[in-house]
A and B are shown apart, each in its own frame.
Chain A
Amino acid sequence: DSGVTQTPKHLITATGQRVTLRCSPRSGDLSVYWYQQSLDQGLQFLIQYYNGEERAKGNILERFSAQQFPDLHSELNLSSLELGDSALYFCASSTRDTKDYGYTFGSGTRLTVV
């Protein structure tokens, strides 16, 4: 157990729908990062939050949004889902937001859009 909790583990939904993925960071970690992993694109950085504020944005589609709440858990919202959104979505947290620190990853949410 890495200490980063993601729910649900699996999600199957239809095109056009909206889903919410949830992440609780490791205790004490203020930074939360979201990544999408697919076979063709590899690991793509989506967005980072630090202590409730958006800090960095990567290749995140406009249909996707995220937020981090006062208790530091984060949610990734995916709307108007398309078949191509099927992927593994990982959340990670970090003790400090500096280059010498790696991330601790959760076990991911596998999203299947049918």
Chain B
Amino acid sequence: GNSVTQMEGPVTLSEEAFLTINCTYTATGYPSLFWYVQYPGEGLQLLLKATKADDKGSNKGFEATYRKETTSFHLEKGSVQVSDSAVYFCALRKGNSGYSTLTFGKGTMLLVSP
């Protein structure tokens, strides 16, 4: 079946450090890939997405590239801020005829200190 594996957290960084959160997936065919962010006490928000191989999704300084050869979709940011502290979820969705649901990884907590 479909699955998503993320690096375990928490990831602890100082402000302005470089961020990488690893995500790999298992799925047949060509799923779409997503990163969601969950701030404390809130629901999940879509951060970025990529719908085909070699696509790069980007938003708010975050980037991720869909790598089919390594089945990966790692999240990166060049300079993190304290306000980026949150839980980040990688997810995939496949199926184009309906009946397709998002499969999430377990989430990676990011803590950024001043």
Chain A residues with CB under 8 Å of chain B are 2, 4, 33, 42-43, 45, 48, 50, 55-56, 58, 90, 92, 97-108
Nearest CB of A to B40, in Å: 12
Knowing A33-B101, A42-B104, A42-B106 touch, does A99 contact B43 (C-beta < 8 A)? no
Query: 0/1 per residue, B83-114, Cβ < 8 Å to A?
Result: 00000010101111111111111110000000
Interface residues on B, range: 20 to 34
Nearest CB of B to A102, in Å: 5
Knowing A45-B101, A50-B98, A99-B32 touch, does A106 contact B46 (C-beta < 8 A)? no
A43, A98, A107: the one within 8 Å of B89 (CB) = A43
Knowing A42-B106, A43-B107 touch, does A99 contact B46 (C-beta < 8 A)? no
B89, B96, B104, B105: the one within 8 Å of A99 (CB) = B96
Count of chain A to chain B residue pairs whose CB atoms are closer than 8 Å in the complex: 66
B51 located at the interface, meaning its Cβ lies under 8 Å from any Cβ of chain A in the complex: yes
Contact (Cβ within 8 A) B31 A105: no
Contact (Cβ within 8 A) B31 A99: yes
A102 to B99, CA, bound (A): 14
CB-defined contacts of B25 to chain A, threshold 8 Å: none
Contact (Cβ within 8 A) A99 B42: no
15 A-B contacts (beta carbon < 8 Å)? A33-B101, A33-B102, A42-B107, A48-B101, A55-B99, A90-B43, A98-B96, A98-B97, A98-B100, A99-B96, A100-B49, A102-B34, A102-B91, A103-B102, A104-B46
Knowing A42-B107, A43-B89, A45-B103 touch, does A97 contact B98 (C-beta < 8 A)? yes
